[in-house]
Structure 1
C-alpha cells in the first residue's frame, strides 16, 4: 500500500479595482509647513503586515474602511487607469465641484470602496463643503474639476514628479497641481501610518482624502500649535504629529466639530 501525502498551499489575491486615475504630503520635510509649490505628503514606516488569514472578511462599509490590506510598499503598477463607473449626485448646496475617481489597473484593492469613501468623506459636513460652501458630485464621464486617483507607490511618484513633488522618501500621497490628478498612494490607503495606528484606519483614510483635496482647493500645510489639540487636517499627519514641542491628536477633518 502506498500512502501519498498531499500538501496544498492556497493563496488569496484580492479582487482588482473597478476604477482607475496631485500636491503631496510629499515635499516639505520641514515641520513648519510649506509654500504652495510644496504642498502635501506622507511617510513610509515599513508597515507591510497583512491581515491575518483567520480574520473574517470585512462585509460592511465601516468594516472595510477599518481593515488593513496587504500591499507592497515598493509596488509599481501598470501606470494605466480605469475610471470607477457610476454617478453620485452632489447632496449639498453651494458651489458644485465635479470629480472623477480613477484607480490604477491591476491594483489589488476595491475601487468601488475607494469611490464610496471619497464621496462620503467630501460630502460630510466636517469636510470642505462645511456650511454649504460647496458640494461634491462624482462623475464618470464629461467634465471633472479634478480626478482623485488611487495608484501604486511607483505610479504615484511618477505623477507627483510631474508637479515637482517627491513622494519617494516617505512613500506619501500628493496633489499633482500641474495635472488634473489628486494622487492617493495605494500603500498608505492599504496600510495606514504609525501616527494613526491600526485602530484608526477609517479615520486615516478620511484624512488622506481631505488633506490632498484640501491642497487642490488651495490650502497649504499647517502645524500643531497647541499641546493636545486636534491636528489641523493640513498638517502632514502621516509623517508626524508634533511641531515646535507641541503634540497634536490625529484628526481627519478640516471642521471636526461639524
Structure 2
C-alpha cells in the first residue's frame, strides 16, 4: 500500500538542540543511513505528522524513540516541533527494525506492535485534516467576500439575477409619413384663374418698370408693337400679366383675326402703345389726363392723349361681379381686348338682344344689360372663330 503524498505546509524553523550529539542524530536511522520519510514529492518526516496529529486531537505529543522508559537506551528526548512550526523532529526519535517476515522489504518503525505503520496512517490523516482546514478557511473567506458584495447588491445563491427587459406598453409610434414631392409649378391657366387680394384704394409707387424681353409676332399682316409696364410696388406677377397680354392679342378670336394684324412685344425701341398695369390711384391719375374718370366703378381706360392703355390692378386681381369668381381667366382676356380696342379706334357698344353674346366693347365690368336686353359674357371680338 503506497502512502499518498503529503502536501502540508512546511516552514523553516529553528534547528533542533544539539545536546544529544552526533550519535543521537544518527541513532534512529536505518542501516543505509537514510531518514525515514513519507513517500511523495516533498518527503516530509513521519514524526512531524505525528506531532501535528497529536496537537489536533488534543493528546500529548508523541516523543521520539528512546525518550521514554520503555525504549532501550532512552534518555531525555529532544523537544519535538509541530508541523505547523515547520521544524522536523530530531533524528533520535527514530529507530528501525527489520520487517517481521525478514524479507528486508523496507524499514519499519521500532516499538511494540509495529507503531511505524500507525504513524504512517496518522501522517496521512493529518495531511487530510490540513487539506480540509484549508478548504474550510478558503470557503469562509469566499463567503465573507460574497457577504461584502451582497451588502452592496443583494444576490441569490444562484448568482445575481438579471432583470428581464419588459416590452414597452406605450402607444405604438405612427408609421413615418412619406415626404411629399415638391408641388409642380402652377400652369398659366391655373394662375389666370386665381383671385389675388388687392386693396381697391391702393396707391403704389407711381413709377413703372418695363417687363424685359421680347415676344415675336406669331401671325401675319401688319405688326403692331407694344410694351408692357408694371407699376412698382404692386403685389402682382408682372411676368404673368405680360404673358397674358401677348397670348390674348395674338389669339385668332382677337383683333388680329384673319391676318388683319399681329402683335409683337418689345422692351425697348419704338412701341405703338404701352399696356400698363397700375394701382387704382395711379390708374385714375393717368386716365384723368385724357378726361376720363375711373374712380366711380374703379375701372380701366385707354388714356388716348398718352401712350398708355391703363389696366386697373384692382380689377385684374379681383375681377367683376358680372363674371364671378369662376370666370376670372375669361374676364382678364376681355379686359385686355376691350381697352386695346379703344386704342385701335373702337367705341363702346351695347347688348343687341336678350341672351346674345355681349360685344367685347360693351362695358361688361359695369353691366350686361342695356334697354332691357341682357347679354352673356364674352371676351372676344370674333368669338365664333
Give the TM-score taking structure 1 as reference length: 0.78
Whole-Å separation in 2 of the counterparts to 1:182 and 1:62: 24
Q: 2:266 aligns with which of 136, 139, 154?
A: 139
Aligned pair 1:109/2:229, yes or no? no
Alpha-carbon offset, residue 57 of structure 1: 9.8
Between 1 and 2, higher relative CO (CA 8 Å, sep ≥ 6) is seen in 1
- 8 A contact 1:93–1:132 mirrored in 2: yes
Alpha-carbon offset, residue 103 of structure 1: 0.1
C-alpha distance 72-227 of structure 1, shift in aligned 2 (>3 A) = same
- 8 A contact 1:58–1:64 mirrored in 2: no
Whole-Å separation in 2 of the counterparts to 1:159 and 1:100: 17
Alpha-carbon offset, residue 157 of structure 1: 0.2
Deviations 1:172-221 (A, max 9, x none): 00000000000000000000000000000000000000000000000000
Whole-Å separation in 2 of the counterparts to 1:188 and 1:58: 25
- 8 A contact 1:207–1:233 mirrored in 2: yes
Residue-pair matches, total: 203
Off by >3 Å, runs of 4+ in structure 1: none
Which one has a bigger Cα radius of gyration? 2
C-alpha distance 213-114 of structure 1, shift in aligned 2 (>3 A) = same
RMSD: 1.1
Higher-helix-fraction structure? 2
Whole-Å separation in 1 of the counterparts to 2:353 and 2:191: 33
Whole-Å separation in 1 of the counterparts to 2:187 and 2:223: 29
1:43-192 matches, within 5 Å, as 59-192=186-319
Alpha-carbon offset, residue 120 of structure 1: 0.1
- 8 A contact 1:156–1:184 mirrored in 2: yes
Whole-Å separation in 1 of the counterparts to 2:244 and 2:355: 28
- Unpaired stretches in structure 2, ≥5 consecutive residues: 1-182
Alpha-carbon offset, residue 244 of structure 1: 0.3
Q: Report the equivalent of 2:357.
A: 230
- 8 A contact 1:58–1:67 mirrored in 2: no
Alpha-carbon offset, residue 58 of structure 1: 7.3
The DSSP-based 3-state class of the residue aligned with 1:140 is: coil
- 8 A contact 1:224–1:241 mirrored in 2: yes
Whole-Å separation in 2 of the counterparts to 1:170 and 1:181: 20
Deviations 1:134-176 (A, max 9, x none): 0000000000000000000000000000000000011000000
